[in-house]
Amino acid sequence: MSHLTDLQEHIQPLRDTLRRFIDKEMPREAARRWDREDMFPRDVFGRLVSIGVTGLTVPEEYGGTGVDIVATMAVIEELSRRSLAVAVPYIMTSCYCGMNIRESGSEAQKRHFLPKVARGDVMFAYGLTEPDAGADLASVRTSARMENDRVIVSGTKRFCSGANIADYIYTLVKSDPQAPRYKNLSVILVPTNAPGVSIRVADAVGMKGAPTTDVTFDAVEVPTSAIVGERDGWNNGWSMLAGPVLNVEKLEVAAMAVGIAQAAVDDAWDYAGQRSQFGKLIGKFQSVRHKLADLRTDLLASRLMLYHAAALANAGKPCGVESSMAKLFCTERGRTAVIGAQEIIGAYGLTKEFDAERYVRDMLILPIAGGSSNIQRNNISNMLGLAR
């Protein structure tokens, strides 16, 4: 039995539980309504938490079920098959908060936040990107200065998914304008309800329910305990963006892509077995059969890459190349899948009566989020030592 087969068997009971939950608590019409109203179904999320899935990134000593990156990716994939309005908030709790605090938080921060992650009681949004700092995060202009036992944060962040439903913004700041590049950054936990925080929801085409936002910090004051890693974390923020957390973030996006692509291909497959033209089912036409065969093949390859990289991350092994490859492949093939599925469904795939148009809208962000496809190509070439 192959290692990857073992992994699939390991997470199959979890998948079965999630699919029953989704059928009951996240029916298609509800997912369409959440998308239409740009709504986060907090009550549904609360019932999801009761399954215990938010504890999958939390060690047992802090109230979790033990860290299981493979299972975490399976949760993201399954939720994304139905709705990003639940999948993204799950990531905001289990990954943005759970993974970052477990890897970079002080012991006091771990004791405070990780039990809340396991209970589903806290969400982080990422405050990384700025109007003039996207892939080049080391050039952020949002600033923080320390005054006695307080930190004052000022600046603007862009494309902060879910900040309007989050409890804290995991904010990358320039904390020492005189220090060398990469040694002048810190990460501050800014409460979304703190005085001076302004959040504006952007009307993006997809990822409804946890929408992208612009966030402004107008001399926001927080205690020094809000520095990730506390005082030891001051000017050490760059290291917190690299390593295991960055690799898992790429896999989170890949898992969303696999989930959406699976849903799109399943819908197109079913449609091809029901829709008749010219006196026979369209699934009997070679052009449709070949397209669906290619999409199924891409799905299998995507899933194998995702869970191979997730298994490496779970074992604490180097996986930078594999996670970049998975992110690149899954999101690019995912985009091909949703457009191909929409083409098979035809004009109906452009209407709100079918989910195909939502799959396309939700997928469009994924080759960009978490490091664009070209950034991943650079990562792969650099890490493999090409012409350096």
Q: How far is CA 216 from CA 150, 163, 166, 221, 355, in A?
A: 19, 11, 15, 13, 34
**215 is written with which tokens?**
């966030």
**pLDDT reported for residue 134:** 81
| Residue 1 binned pLDDT confidence (cut-offs 50, 70, 90) | very low
- Tell me the average pLDDT of the chain: 95
Sign for the CA dihedral angle at 305, 126, 143, 103 comes to negative
Look-up of token digits 């799905």: 299
The DSSP 8-state label assigned to residue 133 in this structure reads B
Q: Are strands 276-277 and 213-223 parallel, antiparallel or unpaired?
A: unpaired
Residues 201 and 163: their CA atoms lie apart, in Å, by 9
**pLDDT reported for residue 242:** 79
**pLDDT reported for residue 371:** 92
Look-up of token digits 């995702």: 306
What are the pLDDT digits (tens) for 273-287? Answer: 999 999 999 999 999
Average pLDDT over every residue of 159-178: 96
- Among residues 388, 338, 340, the alpha carbon closest in space to that of 366 is found at 338
**CB-side neighbour CA atoms (13 Å) of 182:** 4
Domains and CATH numbers, the chain: 3-122 (1.10.540.10), 126-236 (2.40.110.10), 244-383 (1.20.140.10)
**pLDDT reported for residue 133:** 83
- Among residues 139, 163, 173, the alpha carbon closest in space to that of 214 is found at 163
What are the pLDDT digits (tens) for 136-146? Answer: 898 999 999 99
- Among residues 87, 125, 95, 4, the alpha carbon closest in space to that of 260 is found at 87
Residues 379 and 353: their CA atoms lie apart, in Å, by 40
What are the pLDDT digits (tens) for 42-72? Answer: 999 999 999 999 999 999 999 999 999 999 9
**326 is written with which tokens?**
């998975």
**% of the chain with per-residue pLDDT over 90:** 93
What are the pLDDT digits (tens) for 336-374? Answer: 999 999 999 999 999 999 999 999 999 999 999 999 999
Average pLDDT over every residue of 213-241: 96
Look-up of token digits 């409804």: 208
Query: Which pTM value belongs to this model?
Result: 0.96
Kindly write down the DSSP assignment for every residue of 317-366, as one continuous string.
Answer: ---HHHHHHHHHHHHHHHHHHHHHHHHHHGGGGGSTTSSHHHHHHHHHTT
Residue 5 has pLDDT above 90, yes or no: no
Residues 213 and 291: their CA atoms lie apart, in Å, by 37
**pLDDT reported for residue 257:** 98
Q: Which of 1-5, 245-249, 254-258, 376-380 has the lowest mean pLDDT?
A: 1-5
Kindly write down the DSSP assignment for every residue of 207-273, as one continuous string.
Answer: -TTS--EEEEEEEEEEEGGGBTTGGGGTT-HHHHTSTHHHHHHHHHHHHHHHHHHHHHHHHHHHHHT
